[in-house]
Amino acid sequence: MGRLRIEDLRSVETSPTSPAALRGKIAEIILSSTHAQVTVESFDAETGDYRVVLRGILDGETTR
């Protein structure tokens, strides 16, 4: 997997995308980070709707 380019960070928001493509983009962000944290903000068991927030700090090499 290649190193994340800072200008590509917003590409994770591109919609629509397949779950497999999104997984790859999220994995690239996490692997390019020195710290990562996830929070499940909400989950509706009836509909399956969820909201997850990923926070982190990109590796200094990534931001150059």
Q: Cβ(38)–Cβ(56) under 8 Å? A: no
Q: Six-digit token pair at 64?
A: 């150059």
Is residue 39, in this structure, part of any structural domain at all?
Answer: yes
Is residue 1, in this structure, part of any structural domain at all?
Answer: no
DSSP state of 18: -
CA 17 to chain centre: 13
pTM: 0.77
Q: Tell me the per-residue pLDDT of 10-62, one tens digit each, with 9 for 90 and over.
A: 888 876 788 998 898 899 899 999 999 999 999 999 999 999 999 999 987 75
How many separate domains does the chain show? 1
Tokens 């629509």 found at? 16
Q: Cβ(26)–Cβ(8) under 8 Å? A: no
Domain that holds residue 35: 6-58
Q: Cβ(56)–Cβ(37) under 8 Å? A: yes
Tokens 């399956």 found at? 48
